[in-house]
Amino acid sequence: MKPIRFIAATAAALAAVSATVAVAATEQTGSASARQFEGKVVSINRDARTFGLSDAERGTVRIKVTRSTRFERIDGFAGLKVDARRIEATVKRKSGAWVALAVERSGGGGDHGGDDDRGRDDNRGGDDNPSGDDG
């Protein structure tokens, strides 16, 4: 009977360790995954390099900007203005704060219109060709 008890105890211990590892992996992956907020800039703290973004679905969130934050269709952090609308932020949670991976002015779809590559044809669509035909 002793071998059966040993096997049962070992199996229970392995199951407990496996469950703990699975929960830890899920928490780590969940907190590191990127999320998106979109809305109106309601506040800016230049000293702390943060801004408040009012998202219609999620409420107002405070977002931290770092050196590695990528800006698109906005002239960097200095280009953010209070009351700017259609601002989209891709963020991740780090040490209890939302940290911006990318901040951009939303164009309302995949084709943001206008000259999407500043006069160089990148063959991705948009108005690369002044005649309006990307061919």
Q: What is the CATH number of the domain that holds 57?
A: 2.40.50.320
Q: Looking at the domain assignment, is residue 56 inside a domain?
A: yes
Is 59 part of any domain? Answer: yes
Is there a domain that residue 97 lies in?
Answer: yes
* Number of separate domains in the chain: 1
| 53 class by beta-carbon count within 10 Å (0-12 exposed, 13-18 middle, 19+ buried) | buried
Asked, for residue 101, whether it belongs to a domain, the answer is yes
> Structure pTM?
0.58
Cα distances from 13 to residues 5, 8, 10, 22, in angstroms, run 12, 9, 5, 14
Q: Distance between CA 87 and CA 73 in Å, rounded?
A: 10
pLDDT exceeds 60 at position 80:
yes
Any domain includes 1: no
User: Collapsing DSSP states into helix, strand and coil, what is residue 9?
Assistant: helix
- Would residue 90 count as lying in a domain? yes
Range of the domain at 62: 34-105
In a domain, 111, yes or no: no
Question: pLDDT (tens digit, 9 = 90+) per residue, 95-118?
Answer: 999 999 999 998 755 443 444 455
pLDDT in tens, 38-53: 999 999 999 999 999 9
Q: Is residue 88 part of a domain?
A: yes
Integer Cα distance of 105 and 116 in angstroms: 13
Amino acid identity for residue 133 in this structure: D
